[in-house]
Structure 1
Amino acid sequence: MTRITTQSALQKVFNIRRRVFIEEQQVPEAIEFDQYDRLDADCLHVLIHHNSVPAATGRVRFIDQSAKLERICVLKPYRKYGLGKRVIAALEEMAVEKNMNQCLLHGQTQAIPFYERLGYNVVSDEFIEDGISHVEMVKQML
């Protein structure tokens, strides 16, 4: 796991997100990238490699006493190696370091079982975000 601290590493994160969210899931680029996609923003990005290939990423934003896990994705050829679980673990570790009470995320409904296996509980009705069905999910950390 690599915590992103350089612009070149952040570009690798963007390349993964572009391939998964924009190309694969058809999320408009104007929606995918936002004001938190900077090194000086109030959030942290991680990058997971598989055999030296940048393959998965996610970010965490700190809001009050909650850590919001966002933009979690794994390139399609690498989805069978547990990299998504490693992204979540890395983001949760950062939340614990910042003494956050809980982690929350907007999970795509197709990924609910994945997040439930990691201790997250659905706390909302289904809603549409970026044209995709989601639910809010929460995990208590402290």
Structure 2
Amino acid sequence: MEIGTSPRVISSRKRITYKPSEWHVHQFEIWSGELVCKAAALRVVGALLLWVGGGGAAELSEVALGVPAREDGAGRAALASSLLGAEGAATALARRLSAALARPVYVCSGLVFDRFTMPLIERGLMAEIKNRPECF
């Protein structure tokens, strides 16, 4: 093809139908007297992507995937793996959320969790899941 020419365009007689997006976005904040973190849940068919970050600019330091175990009488078990960054609190959170929601959960974190903030974040997430189950 020469520079300045356009490729041959083939038209189609098929009708295009538009569907509403299957992505559902829910943004919320977790407070414990003061702002602990901001979170965004992106729900798609069969999975959930959860971003947890601080109050400043959005950052990404860890990504983890949690997958529920098969239904072989294992109860509410799940497996998790770190996809980006060190294996830490995001991996544990992905495993617990995947077991609770019975679907794959991606957890993206821009925060460094410690032993004081992690229980606050988990408690806030579980409260939000109970209050707004349609978003998760």
Q: TM-score with structure 1 length normalisation?
A: 0.28
Structure of higher CA gyration radius: 2
Which structure: greater helix fraction? 1
Q: TM-score with structure 2 length normalisation?
A: 0.29
Asked which structure has the greater RCO (Cα within 8 Å, sep 6+), the reply is 2
